[in-house]
Every structure is written in C-alpha cells, then in structure tokens.
Structure 1
Amino acid sequence: MTADDHLPGPVAGGPVGRAPLAGGPVAVLTNPTAGRGRYRALLPRLLDGLAAAGRPVRLLQASSPAEAEAACRAAVADGAGALVAIGGDGTVHRALQAVAGTDVPFGPIPAGTGNDFALDTGFPADPLAAADVIASALRDGRSRAVDLARMTDSDGVERWYGAVLAAGFDAIVNERANRMRWPRGPRRYDLAILVELARLRPRRYTLRLDGVPHELDAVLVAVGNCPTYGGGMRICPDADPTDGLLDVVVAGRVNRRTLVRVKPRIYQGSHVSHPLVRSFRARTVELSAEGITTYADGERSLTLPVTISAVPGALRLLR
C-alpha cells in the first residue's frame, strides 16, 4: 500500500488548532519488532524526516511494552513538546496512555502489522509519508482534536484506547493464543481460533448504554471509537472518532458455521446487516460478563466489568 491508498479524509475532521507547540523535544517511541521488523531499516530516515521540522528529536529507550509505556509517561512529565509512536496499534496504545487528556500532541507512524488507529484518523499508510505529515504539523504548530475512549474497571483502574475494544470471541481467542507456548508465530493464533470455535457458546452480557440496560446473549461484542481493528476489519463500520460517541456492535446467538461465514464480511463492514448482529451508539457503555478479559487496540487490557466513556477531543493529532 502506498501513501495514496489511504488519504486523510473527513473521519479525522475534528477542530484544527494552530498555536505554538510546547518547546520541549519530540519524544519518539519505536518498536523495532513491529510488522515483523520489516520497517526497521527505515528508522534513520523516519527520524531525519521528523528532525526536518527543526525540533530536537529524542528516541525513547524501552525493551518491553511496560517499559515503553513508562518511558512515554516520563517523557511527557519531563516536558516533551510532542510524542511520536513508530509501530503498530500496540505501540500506539502504549503511547496513548501518556498523552490522553493532555495538551501534548501525538503522531502515529504506521509501521506494524495492524495500523488501524493511524489509518482511521487519516494518516498515510506509508511510514515516510506519515513522518512528513507529522513534521509539517510540527513546523506549522498544527494539531487536530480527536476523541479517545476511556475505560475503568471495578477496581478503578483506568485505561485509554483509540480504536476498538474487543470483549467477545476475538478477545477470548487472543487470551488463549497468549497462553500458548506452541506453535510460534501466526500459526499459534490460527490454532487458538480452531480451539475456541470448537468451544463456541453465547455468553450472557449486560450492556448499559447511557444508563439504559440491555440483557443479551452474544458471542462477539466490540466497542469502537474508530471503525477498524485487526489490521483493517471494519468491525464498527460507522464509528467516527470525532462525534463524541462510541459504536457498539454485538453478534448474538451465532453458531460456528454462521460465525465462520459472516466473519469475512467484517472487512467490508457488511456484517452489520446480518439479522443476528445489532448495533448501538452511546456516550457511555457499561459492559459486564463472566470470564472475559478485554483487548483494546489489540492489547490485553481490563477484565469485565468495565465502564467505557467517549472523551471528546482527548487527543491532539499532529495532522
């Protein structure tokens, strides 16, 4: 895919600000293993592209996801003028925890297997083109407000996400794959799908949408701030990260055969027309079910029950 394959569009149409950005350095988080390392050789060119904005660039050091998140938080606390994440949705997710709800602008450079948040918010798919967009915004003091989703569990633990929260079959598959030690690579995920398909059963969920309760049986529940997850699957096809709302898509009492048949339609977003799929929209979503650990932006997150709120303008994007 080239930069022209996904041009900035109206989905990232939040208010544009033009004001001098804070004078601190541009902190850069990078994940050299993202996208199976295929963009690793581009790092020097990406850093040069960012430096062309005339701002000092500081590469953050981290050897694990937890260290990456801590490094981003420390950089923001130390006065970073901007934060840039080079990697996929997992790298972006770690960076968002540091900049959400702050005035520190953020730029994602898509260099992972899944780059849903960056593409859904209008950045080019080509990493070098995305770096140019971010550098231009830095030079001009330009940023654009978009929404984020903030979730809180029953213990008060808070996390932010940008794209989609999975709280059904896909989350269960991820949880099984993460527990498996064999096989390695993508085959582990494929095997986890087969195991969980064999065990597929609807679970009882309680949804409270802006205070209105819904009891339902479902095999898949997704709560989207953006339309896509999993590298381009349009699970919440009408989600808009500038409308102040969350889109909730629920696949009800679906059997194995139907799930396998409907799942490919997610790439076009046409699954929502299936009679067993329901869509909702709300500012606040309270979600509970037994035995579900959620995955946000593809990253293991909080265990249900959780409360998810759309937070308008929680992030300033360098676009």
Structure 2
Amino acid sequence: MRRVAAPGRAAQRWSARLAIVAGVGATVLLLSVAGLRSLVLVALGTAGLAVSVAAGWWALSRRGVARGVALVLALLAPVAVLVSYVAARLLWLVLVSLALWVLAAAAGWAALRADAVARASPGRPVRPPERACLLMNPRSGGGKVGRFGLREKAEALGAEVLLLDAAHHGDVAALARDALARGADLLGVAGGDGTQALVAAVAAEHDVPFMVIPAGTRNHFALDLGLDRDDPSLSLQALTDGVEFRVDLGRVGGRAFVNNASFGAYAEVVQSPAYRDDKVGTLLRLLPDVLTHQHGPRLAVSAGDVGVDGPQAVLVSNNPYRVGDRAGLGRRDRLDGGVLGMLSVTVDSAVQAAGLLRGRHAQGLVSVTAEALVVDADRPEVRVGVDGESLTLPTPVRCVSQPAALRVRVPRHRPGVPPARPRLDWRRLGTLALPAGRGSAAG
C-alpha cells in the first residue's frame, strides 16, 4: 500500500476552501439574481435532460420515421431549454453557476483525493522463473509487441517467446499446455484479455504462476492488477524482480474469464455476421428488436434471493465493478473477493430510460454480488461475450467464482490500482477547510 502523490496539507486545505466558496457562490448567485425562478431553471434543465434521454431510447428502439422524429426530439430538447434561458435573459446566470459547480466539484475531489490510497497488493517476493514461456500476439493493441520490442526484451531476460499467428491463435490453450509439458514454470501473455483468459485457465489448472503484459487495446485485467499500461515492457520486470499473489477466476458455463461475461443486447449484436463490416448499421438494424424482446432470447437471472426477469443486458464480472464511481466505471478495487458482480439493465419504456439518470438508484438497474448465479433463457442456447470473445452456450448458464484460483506474478514496483473518485463529502470538506489546528481537533 502506498499513498497517491498528493498536495501538502496547506494545498489540500485551500482546495477544500475553494470547493466550499465555489459551491456557496453558485447557490447564492442563483438565488440572489433569479430568486424563486432559480428552482424553475433547475427543473427546466432536468426535464430537458430527461426528455432527451427518453427520446434517445425511442431512437434506439424504433425504426423509420419514428426513429427520425425521436432523434430530432433528442436534439431539440436541450436546444429548447437553452432558448428559454436566453428568452428569460438568464443564460449567463446558468452558465456561470454551472462553471462554479464544476469548479467546486473539481476542487472538492482534489482535496479529498489527498486521503486516497492506491492499492497495490504487496504479494510475496519470489525467485525468478527458470523456464518462463510468454505467448505474444503481434497484432494486439495495434502492434504493441513490435513497437515496444517485447519479444527481444523478454528473450534477453531468458524467456521463451511464442508469437501467435492467424493459424495458431485459436489454439492458445494447446500452446500453453505444450509449453508446460516441455518444462515451463511460468506462463505469460502479451495480448488481449480474451487470450489472457485462455492461458490463465491453463495456468490455474496446473497451479503455475501467470504473468500479464498489457499489450492489448483496453487491458482491463492489467489495470485491475495495478500494472503500467502505458509501457507494457515494464511488466517484464516480473521476470527478475517479481512478487506473487492469488486472484479469483470467473467461470461461465465452464469457460474461464478474467474480466466479465456479457449476455443480452451486446452479445446479440456483436455476434451478427454483419457486425465486423458495418458496426453502426448492424447496431441500428438489430437494436430495436433486441430492446423490445422481438429478437434474441428473453433472459432471466437468479443470484441468491435476487431474481431479474427480462433484462436487456446482463454483465457478470469477476469481482464487482465500481458502479457508483462514473470516473472509475470498468475498474475493480480487488480481484480476490471470492464473488461475482452482476449488473443488469431493464428498460421497457422511455420513462424507464429516463429513470436511469438516477444512477445506481434507478429502478431498471440491479447490482448484486454473489458466489454463483444462473442466467436462463427461453431458448436452448444463448450468446455470450466472454472477455471480448463471442461464444454460444447451452442454457441455463451457471456462472461461478473460483476464489484464489490463479497465481499472478507482477513486478514489485508498479503504479497500483487507481483509487475511486471520492464522494463529495461537504462535511469533510468543511473540516479540511479549517485552519490546521482546528481541523486536527475536529478530525
């Protein structure tokens, strides 16, 4: 555990003061200039946003003229709000107030983030491997393997490198097993999360350490391991100065995943044969039927005492994502909780679509954690996106967590998992804004 580089106490105190002054200033400005009309301004802006989101739902779930009308409405709603502000000669007031609130939020987060801690699992120091085998996909991430000289650097450290090509890419697990049969005592992957999941399953099966080199496009697993994604070659330090700890694996229908498995709209659209050549066109053509349950299976999810009927999208993750932290959406604070995260979205009307603006409190959004869950459907098979790979599995599909199944080898020195954006706690900001002596006493 190490603290994030943060401003000193004086800078933290002034950031807290700036947040409070900006927030109070925005409120006082609205009330002093507009009076009770300020409530109308806020209500009008909120209504415009809700109408725009609802119209967006209509645009995605309709075709033809209805889609065109919905798109026009989605664009006109915010324009109408701005025009009403201009007519009331209060547009400047709204813009200045918004700017002050943005300043208040930025300063508040800066002050609170000074207390945040970047988590980097310490692990236990281990001896360098004697026969490491690294599988590298030269096409991943736009050619990061070649751009960062990963093959040459790994071989200079004594690792065996197997370059994946189009002919062998589908046989990654077999290549990993063959490497173990030849005496490999560590398996690693420089490639996307889907390839990593296949090799991780083999490493877990044989209880050998697994090493991640973030050479893919998104590198979600590497992010949650606290690795440096800007320079994947730094992960090779795990071969000479590494530490090891255990993380969970997820299983969906027996297939391992390191990040997530998705059911519903996303899985249906991306598995269309036309999606690769025309992503936008395929999306607009298929989504109306998917969202209105006319295409694809009707899903049902059961996770312990929680049941969800008819969601359009279900995401099952290896440990839960940060749902409440919009800046950190897609990040997991830990990978060793021994549970799955489940996030489902059910939207059957424009009203429910607008309700998603409430975030995690939205009626159509369900978020739970469980050691196991079942995704069923009204069809014998269901399409699933597993760490970005498309599969078709028989129903019902059982998803389980495999606690501490995977030994992960990482460099001793690495950035760590970025902390979640802190909640704007105005009481805490008030304490921080006090002079040093009084702030310490209050804390």
Instruction: Give, in whole Å, the separation in 2 of the partners of 1:235 and 1:204.
Output: 26
Instruction: Give, in whole Å, the separation in 2 of the partners of 1:190 and 1:77.
Output: 45
Instruction: Give, in whole Å, the separation in 1 of the partners of 2:163 and 2:351.
Output: 46
Question: Could you say what secondary structure the match of 1:218 adopts?
Answer: coil
- 5+ long unaligned stretches in structure 1: 153-157
Q: Tell me the residue number matched to 1:205.
A: 299
Confirm or deny: 8 A CA contact 1:73 1:98 kept in the other structure.
yes
Q: Tell me the residue number matched to 1:119.
A: 223
RMSD (CA atoms) = 3.2
Query: Greater strand share, 1 or 2?
Result: 1
AA matched with 1:29: L
AA matched with 1:146: V
Deviations 1:219-238 (A, max 9, x none): 0101011539xxx9966666
Does residue 216 in structure 1 map to residue 216 in structure 2?
A: no
Corresponding residue to 1:55 among 141, 146, 158: 158
Q: Percent identity?
A: 26
Deviation at 1:289, TM superposition (A): 1.3
Question: Could you say what secondary structure the match of 1:100 adopts?
Answer: helix
Q: Tell me the residue number matched to 2:435.
A: none
Corresponding residue to 1:250 among 337, 344, 354: 344
Query: 1:18 and 1:239, CA in 2 relative to 1: closer, same or farther beyond 3 A?
Result: closer
AA matched with 2:249: L
Instruction: Give, in whole Å, the separation in 2 of the partners of 1:256 and 1:73.
Output: 51
Deviation at 1:141, TM superposition (A): 5.0
TM-score, structure 2 as length reference: 0.56
Instruction: Give, in whole Å, the separation in 1 of the partners of 2:366 and 2:354.
Output: 18
Query: 1:60 and 1:193, CA in 2 relative to 1: closer, same or farther beyond 3 A?
Result: same
Confirm or deny: 8 A CA contact 2:301 2:307 kept in the other structure.
yes
Q: Tell me the residue number matched to 1:130.
A: 232
Does residue 30 in structure 1 map to residue 136 in structure 2?
A: yes
Number of residue-to-residue matches in the alignment: 283
Query: 1:234 and 1:299, CA in 2 relative to 1: closer, same or farther beyond 3 A?
Result: farther
Corresponding residue to 1:310 among 401, 410, 428: 401
Q: Tell me the residue number matched to 1:164.
A: 260
Which structure: larger Rg?
2
Confirm or deny: 8 A CA contact 2:138 2:146 kept in the other structure.
no
Query: 1:48 and 1:148, CA in 2 relative to 1: closer, same or farther beyond 3 A?
Result: same
Q: Tell me the residue number matched to 2:35.
A: none
Query: 1:174 and 1:183, CA in 2 relative to 1: closer, same or farther beyond 3 A?
Result: closer
AA matched with 1:91: T
Confirm or deny: 8 A CA contact 1:28 1:57 kept in the other structure.
yes
TM-score, structure 1 as length reference: 0.76
AA matched with 2:153: G
- 5+ long unaligned stretches in structure 2: 6-116, 411-443
Query: 1:136 and 1:111, CA in 2 relative to 1: closer, same or farther beyond 3 A?
Result: closer
